[in-house]
Structure 1
């Protein structure tokens, strides 16, 4: 098995460093205006000139981590510097310090989603990783300061005006804040105690409101006071990839806390439930949406296979195996690995396909 892992590690390293990242350096890196172009066809042709601010922060994290964990190639530092400059120059609304959702290729504001804090959270993890990869301590400080902006927004109902008149809670916010706080803690060890306490609150919120033992599911939404909303589409919505992502964030926290048994149990329980819900036993792959009661789902793409839930399932199962040595997780990891390589890897143009139908046929040729 040790030899198998060595082979797999080599395969994924090659896929990342010689396939995926070069695709984005060649086709996505905007040498003219800076930052990263985010709407590309499978051959790298430009489909959309507007730029997602989410993607700028995420790309900064990816290339910073590649530099930090593999080697500091000149092209990685070049693209990271461009991304940092683009985010700082064009990502923020100077009137309130909040971030835009989408900007033009040149950086002019296009969309600002004031109810959401995800542009900020992805910029935080990007700044944090950049600071570690290149010794830019000032960006750890900027990440921490932006985190304070997020907390202020979350605690101000006049800033994050609720989308619905019906009081509700969403899984996505505490889940992504958990990952954000973990990344920030690595970059700002002087704030570890504060961030540990913050993470404690997020873990409690996730377990109390979204991990539902009575149905053995992780819901995406519940009422403001924590009740299931099974009479509504939103209340029955299950997103297996999202829940599995949250599961490995929790397992990561368990590992950070010396293999904390309670957190290991919580994370693996979430993975077990949502693997059962999301894995397509017939055609393989993680399905995008399910209904908590097995009823018809309202989203028209509910039975598709997107690329990212497969990534989350791969990471979560491998992490669960590393923590528990339970061979069930190893078998599930290998099943996802084989599925990805058979269906998502684009052997002609490189990178991966983004979207498959339920039967694994390509959504967009």
Structure 2
């Protein structure tokens, strides 16, 4: 839709963000009494099912509100930039006061009042380093936009702590624990994003430490492109550390949404750091994700597929993660599709290859006939659907309705298109 008319396309996304997505979250997602954000809504967004606050989502909301404030200040969104930044700052304070443990890790789950909870009884409070990563992302973006040096220091301290834990092998990764004997693409992927966002914040302050963080971004990008990038453009999701079978379900499966998201991280960082050798492979990986992951019968991207396309196959090792793959492979989720909207547009911008304009058109048509709530124009998206596109009530990752992927990608699309419009 409007692929050759950047002005019309930008206006479409501005309208969708302002009238469909944001009203729901600004009216229902802000805890004005206790601080922090509500995200535990049902799939249709019709009721708040819990006051629990997952630290993962709190960090994401901080990032979103800070970036939306910047977008509004630039005149690309008609919202009160000051209010948005105040809301982001309130989220920072809620997390600072309640989420951190004595060891420097972040608790995974808080109740409405900030009391730390065990999401899995008996398993402890800090069960996923991804929660820490999203706090670091949120703090970095808030610090950059608000020019808050104290929050920036906290983001840097947290990022350093995460890296130390990774080197020591002292991290956990609920809700999808990485099986023993394997390494996951998701680790390098999230750390690439954390370090590139932190580096951008440090650069905005003219902080000399930015150069070292950019080196970390390069290392994580290199790990993705030299370790997980496979011949033909597939991005492996799980690899064995030693001699485990490459023909297992774990090793054969591909996650199209992760591949696309990871590759736009790579594209942005490779362009920034002048690593031209990775631009072409990264765009090829986006095309490959569509080639193996697109449902030719009903449209949309599958959640998981076999490396050759279709239902994941291979030897079964009996792990919980493997069962998740087999049970949910053909569902259609909101987040891969929002990533595909931005990923294909960025690939088109950087490569000029018409295939990415065609892929963008394909995913745009599917997304906007499938995910927006048909009965509530300001009801956000119905995010979790079956293969045919019908809503289903199923927990994916956290039991939350999280706007991070939707809003982030709409913002990035608006910014990308703005860069190509003539200045007034």
Deviation by residue 1:229-280 (Cα, 9 ceiling, x = unmatched): 433222222111011110110011122134x321202311221221111111
Larger mean Cα displacement after TM superposition, 293-302 or 306-315? 293-302
1:91 and 2:107 aligned: no
- Residues 233 and 77 (structure 1), Cα distance of their counterparts in 2 relative to 1, 3 Å cut: same
The Cα of 1:196 is off from its aligned counterpart by 2.3
1:273 and 2:291 aligned: no
Q: Which residue of 2 aligns with 1:314?
A: 341
SS of 2:128 mapped into structure 1: coil
Take 2:375 and 2:312, find their aligned partners in 1: how far apart are those partners? 37
- 8 Å contact kept, 1:253–1:263: no
Take 2:259 and 2:140, find their aligned partners in 1: how far apart are those partners? 24
- Residues 156 and 341 (structure 1), Cα distance of their counterparts in 2 relative to 1, 3 Å cut: same
* Equivalent residue in structure 2 for 1:180, among 194, 197, 210: 194
Q: Which residue of 1 aligns with 2:258?
A: 242
Take 1:346 and 1:138, find their aligned partners in 2: how far apart are those partners? 40
Take 1:324 and 1:228, find their aligned partners in 2: how far apart are those partners? 37
1:284 and 2:302 aligned: no
Q: Which residue of 2 aligns with 1:102?
A: 109
1:147 and 2:159 aligned: yes
Take 2:224 and 2:179, find their aligned partners in 1: how far apart are those partners? 22
Deviation by residue 1:9-67 (Cα, 9 ceiling, x = unmatched): 11111221232122111111111211011111334421122111110011110110000
The Cα of 1:318 is off from its aligned counterpart by 0.4
- Residues 23 and 223 (structure 1), Cα distance of their counterparts in 2 relative to 1, 3 Å cut: same
Take 1:250 and 1:113, find their aligned partners in 2: how far apart are those partners? 32
Kindly report the root-mean-square deviation, in angstroms, between the aligned alpha carbons of the 2 structures. Answer: 2.2
SS of 1:218 mapped into structure 2: coil
* Equivalent residue in structure 2 for 1:194, among 201, 212, 223: 212
Equivalent runs, 1:127-166 vs 2, <5 Å? 127-157=139-169, 159-160=170-171, 166=180
Take 1:307 and 1:295, find their aligned partners in 2: how far apart are those partners? 20
Larger mean Cα displacement after TM superposition, 50-59 or 128-137? 128-137
Take 2:61 and 2:194, find their aligned partners in 1: how far apart are those partners? 15
- Residues 2 and 306 (structure 1), Cα distance of their counterparts in 2 relative to 1, 3 Å cut: closer
1:230 and 2:257 aligned: no
> What is the TM-score of this pair, normalised by structure 1?
0.92
Count how many residue pairs are aligned between Structure 1 and Structure 2.
360
The Cα of 1:81 is off from its aligned counterpart by 2.0
- Residues 30 and 165 (structure 1), Cα distance of their counterparts in 2 relative to 1, 3 Å cut: closer
Give the unaligned 5+ runs of structure 1: none
Q: Which residue of 2 aligns with 1:14?
A: 15
* Equivalent residue in structure 2 for 1:123, among 111, 115, 135: 135
Take 1:164 and 1:364, find their aligned partners in 2: how far apart are those partners? 25
Q: Which residue of 1 aligns with 2:381?
A: 352
SS of 2:209 mapped into structure 1: helix
Deviation by residue 1:109-139 (Cα, 9 ceiling, x = unmatched): 1135645321111111111111122221221
Take 2:239 and 2:45, find their aligned partners in 1: how far apart are those partners? 41
1:301 and 2:328 aligned: yes
Q: Which residue of 1 aligns with 2:354?
A: 327
Take 1:191 and 1:21, find their aligned partners in 2: how far apart are those partners? 35
Q: Which residue of 1 aligns with 2:29?
A: 28
SS of 2:107 mapped into structure 1: coil
- Residues 65 and 265 (structure 1), Cα distance of their counterparts in 2 relative to 1, 3 Å cut: same
- 8 Å contact kept, 1:27–1:44: no
* Equivalent residue in structure 1 for 2:86, among 70, 73, 78: 78
- Residues 48 and 338 (structure 1), Cα distance of their counterparts in 2 relative to 1, 3 Å cut: same
